[in-house]
Amino acid sequence: MTTTPRKPRSGKRGPTVADVARCAGVSPMTVSRVINSEPNVMPATREKVEAAIVALGYVPNPAARSLAGGQQCRIALLHANPSAAYLSEFLMGSLAQASKLDVQLIVEDCDLLADPAELVRRLIGHRVDAVLLPPPLCDDEALLKALHLAGLPIAQIATGRPAEFAYAVTIDDEAAAHAMTGRLIGLGHRRIGFVAGATNQTASALRFAGYARALSEAGLTPDDRLVREGDFTYRSGLVAAEALLALPEPPTAIFASNDDMAAAAVAVAHRHRLEVPQDLSVCGFDNSAMATTIWPEITTIDQPVAEMARRATALLAEAVRGRAGPPAFVARHIRLAFKMLPRASDACPPPRAQNHGLGT
């Protein structure tokens, strides 16, 4: 009887995270943070870990990303945002970070009128470990309370009212709107229309507050007729811009609370045979793809939506894997910087325009 010889086992294995940790004199958790390029590692510690990785010839693999007991992490991204451009940016950021950290991302479209308790039961049934809440759900108090009572870590994105029991990643919406309004005032505009965002989002009130503060500081009396309500959709921007340009003394500039509504204002201006920015300046907010897919490209505020999503996803993965979870959980509010992005849609106001009846 013949037998097939077995291949001899070398008995050798590649270096592990634990080996790297021992070599560097740190915990395996710290090694994982370095591998995943997380920001909360001291530079000197990072250098020690990286030196140990090189010395041992350690090669990270997807399993190493599931450190902390090899725990799989399932994060639900709940959304009900009417802006497809905003959601696209958010998805790109969260998906990229989820892939990097070996996190399973579950995306669910939610009805704003849904029963929070039923939604939470469904999430628990799907074995969800944490929840990402972009606007407007980040401001839904009933949903926040239900998630918190269920013990699920939460990350609110772009909220103006961070919960004491949740993570929050935001920008300073009030300061950003103040800066944009100040830009238009600096160009010489005195009648500046404002298209507000949806009333169920705290960021909307903050952006209006920034607009109003800039006017007051410039000695300009806010005019209620120059403020129109929108809901962050293109269609609402059309309605608001039509109303503003129908005024006996219309604005020479329109500042919309997001790029979808700003793009709609540009379309309405063209419908009225107005040149942007020669006859009417238009500015937006977010720096979504919409701002650069129309002509002229829209001057806007760069809200780093994708980066906000990345940071929030990383925070939740850290919480789930026990690095900052209960009972040591501490809510963290991270505020990222915004940027002004001047483009081609704003300019100095025209002289009093007899052809179009525009006021200055």
Per-position DSSP letters for 285-350, written without gaps between them: SB--THHHHSSSPPBEEE--HHHHHHHHHHHHHHHHTTSS-TTS----EEEPPPEEE--SS--PPP
Percent of the chain with pLDDT over 70: 86
- pLDDT, residue 329, reads 55
As a CATH number, domain 17-59 is 1.10.260.40
* Residue 314 half-sphere exposure toward CB, CA atoms < 13 A: 20
pTM of the model: 0.77
pLDDT in tens, 8-22: 444 456 778 788 888
**Residue type present at position 265:** A
In terms of DSSP bridges, do strands 339-341 and 130-133 run parallel, antiparallel, or are they unpaired? unpaired
**DSSP assignment, residue 220?**
P
- pLDDT, residue 186, reads 97
- How many other CB atoms are there within 10 angstroms of residue 171's CB atom? 21
Domain(s) of CATH 1.10.260.40: residues in the chain: 17-59
Superfamily for 173-302? Response regulator (3.40.50.2300)
Cα 343 to Cα 253, 287, 293, 297, distances in angstroms: 14, 11, 12, 6
Domain(s) of CATH 3.40.50.2300: residues in the chain: 73-171+304-329, 173-302
**Residue type present at position 232:** F
Q: Which CATH class is domain 73-171+304-329?
A: alpha beta
Phi/psi of residue 109, nearest 5 degrees: -80, 125
Residues of the chain with pLDDT under 50: 1-11, 62-70, 324-328, 353-360
In terms of DSSP bridges, do strands 227-229 and 333-335 run parallel, antiparallel, or are they unpaired? unpaired
Of 156, 123, 124, 152, whose CA–CA distance to 140 is shortest?
156
- pLDDT, residue 198, reads 95
pLDDT in tens, 161-195: 999 999 999 999 999 999 999 999 999 999 999 99
- pLDDT, residue 6, reads 42
